[in-house]
Structure 1
């Protein structure tokens, strides 16, 4: 699943950073998830916890804190800004699923709600970001 692959990348990045910082254990990992990514948080959190069980340095149970960043889109034609959550209501299941796996597909299925232009940019809420790691030396 998509969430498991992302979780594996986050766990490996957290462990690599902890080793660089010479941490004996990781007590907290803060992750920002862009709304556009449409991650199933329960599956993602389960995957993070499962994948972190046998890591060195160790990762404390329930160390992961997930924060959602709302996605904002900006029309390059008329300057309108809008939320992805407003547009998501108009997508069918197949369109929504394709954006889940490849967020850039949003450019195929979305238009500016004001002028109808397909020329827009994602200004916030895209991707998964390992924001911070806290641990014990």
Structure 2
């Protein structure tokens, strides 16, 4: 259950930001969760709310958005999403897709071994989006 550890890291980072920026209150925190991270968003949000109790984040609203995984080919500059290649990659990794837990979410570096550019076939690719990130924090500065 990596949702809890991710939530803990985010809460601790924002508490550090509150001290650094001398914020009196945080009203809203926007978090982007990449689809390939395979996070249960309800468990993640519950963990964020639980970890925020009795902290300056207790009344903050967490907005969690799932964003698509995208790739870019260094050979031909083509860009595509995980959904464009998911079936092919999972079939190559697992054979029977229905019996397979996507191992790439545990080790993103595996993508460069299994995800090929659908246009030119190159393995020289990069993630242009991946993981979990805080995209926005709305707060009030102390007087």
Q: Same fold (TM over 0.5)?
A: yes
Q: For residue 121 of structure 2, what is the aligned residue in structure 1?
A: 116
Q: Alpha-carbon deviations, 1:35-55, whole Å to 9, x = none?
A: 332322122111111111132
The aligned residue for residue 43 of structure 1 is 43
Q: Given the two structures, how large is their TM-score scaled by the length of structure 1?
A: 0.81
Residue 89, structure 1, aligned to residue 87, structure 2: yes
Q: Within 1, Cα distance between the matches of 2:50 and 2:87?
A: 33
Q: How many corresponding residue pairs?
A: 132
User: What is the alpha-carbon distance in structure 2 between the residues aligned to residue 116 and residue 31 of structure 1?
Assistant: 33
**Which consecutive segments of 4 or more residues in structure 1 shift more than 3 A?**
none
Specify every segment of 5 or more residues in structure 2 that has no aligned partner in the other structure, as ranges.
Answer: 91-96
TM-score scaled by structure 2? 0.78
Secondary structure of 1:24's match? strand
Gaps of 5+ in 1: none
- Over 3 Å counting, the alpha-carbon distance change for 1:26 and 1:59 in structure 2 is farther
Residue 81 and residue 26 in structure 1: after superposition, are their counterparts in 2 closer, same or farther (change >3 A)?
Answer: same
Larger Rg: 2
CA apart distance, 1:20: 2.3
CA RMSD of superposed structures (Å) = 2.0
